Amino acid sequence: MSKIKPSKGAPYARILGVGGYRPTRVVPNEVILETIDSSDEWIRSRSGIETRHWANDEETVAAMSIEASGKAIADAGISAEQIGGVIVSTVSHFKQTPAVATEIADRLGTNKAAAFDISAGCAGFGYGLTLAKGMVVEGSAEYVLVIGVERLSDLTDLEDRATAFLFGDGAGAVVVGPSKEPAIGPTVWGSEGDKSETIKQTVPWTDYREGQVAKFPAITQEGQAVFRWAVFEMAKVAQQALDVAGISSSELDVFIPHQANERIIDSMVKTLKLPEHVTVARDVRTTGNTSAASIPLAMERLLATGEAKSGDTALVIGFGAGLVYAATVVTLP
């Protein structure tokens, strides 16, 4: 028989607060058209994107995260000292070590919170949310800060007609804490590494360092392959998340998919046969694809505008490079 005492965590976990930060610079499609042969109409029809935000030198990954986190902590009604864990999902923090989460935890004023980064691309927020839920229920932290943050403008090839218009910068954060009732459902997540070439960094950092390539590495993708995978396979994952949470589409209030492309969002809504009353996040139009930051940013905007309200039941799903995915049903804070 084991002599280890059982953990004393909460019976359940929930999202208690949300915050977001968008860089001050707004970049319309016209700026993108200065370096690629395309049109505003083509970009909007293919992606739904009208504008995106690009960070300046002061709007670092850490700085944007701290802004978003401060709002989330205030929204949760707790203090930074109560945060026991900080999880940051990002692919655009260019220091291999230390994790940017440690800097954020310190600058926020946490009491030596556990802090680490994860790399799960556009599904990163879902991965972080799942880890945070486990920490709260297991008892290793009462409150966990989950941050999705990107400066994808640093990894954008402005001469790549397929991707130059897609990416934006920003940070979204949520506080996960104890709950007396289920408020974060089981996660349906996974990976399909055989499709890793469909979204990737153009070359390894070492190729650039050693002078084998002159162009700074960027994110590239096979657009049609990614579109087909997202439309046909991710709708199935989203449905599985509803099923394991015991929620029907008619009981759903809000749908917050990764803000990759509005055509993908429309196709998923159609495939899932979501009722007209379900509010659908379309933050991609003015924020672009911000990878790990897209779901919490979209959540924050829906709540701020009143399109969604506290207590609503929302289906969230992220999917992207890896290929990886994560979907779950949550109660909005």
Cβ burial of 97 (10 Å; 0-12, 13-18, 19+) is: exposed
Mean pLDDT of 272-279: 97
Any idea which residue has 């291999």 for tokens? 96
Mean pLDDT of 47-76: 98
CA distance 20 to 74: 12
The strands making up 313-320's β-sheet, listed across from edge to edge, are 188-191, 324-331, 313-320, 254-257, 279-280
Percentage of residues in the chain having pLDDT higher than 70: 100
Mean pLDDT of 203-232: 89
User: What are the pLDDT digits (tens) for 140-187?
Assistant: 999 999 999 999 999 999 999 999 999 999 999 999 999 999 999 999
Q: How confident is the model at residue 65 (pLDDT cuts 50, 70, 90)?
A: very high
Mean pLDDT of 193-202: 93
Mean pLDDT of 309-330: 97
Per-residue pLDDT, 239: 97
Per-residue pLDDT, 213: 87
| Averaged confidence pLDDT in the chain | 96
> Is residue 123's pLDDT more than 90?
yes
Mean pLDDT of 184-191: 98
Mean pLDDT of 62-70: 98
Cβ burial of 212 (10 Å; 0-12, 13-18, 19+) is: exposed
> Is residue 194's pLDDT more than 90?
yes
Q: How confident is the model at residue 275 (pLDDT cuts 50, 70, 90)?
A: very high
Q: Nearest Cα to 315, choosing from 301, 295, 300?
A: 295
**Does an H or E element contain 138, and which?**
helix 124-138
Per-residue pLDDT, 210: 87
Per-residue pLDDT, 4: 87
> Is residue 203's pLDDT more than 90?
no
User: What are the pLDDT digits (tens) for 251-268?
Assistant: 999 999 999 999 999 999
Cite the active site residues.
122, 258, 289
Per-residue pLDDT, 127: 98
pTM for the whole thing? 0.96
User: What are the pLDDT digits (tens) for 7-50?
Assistant: 889 999 999 999 999 999 999 999 999 999 999 999 999 999 99
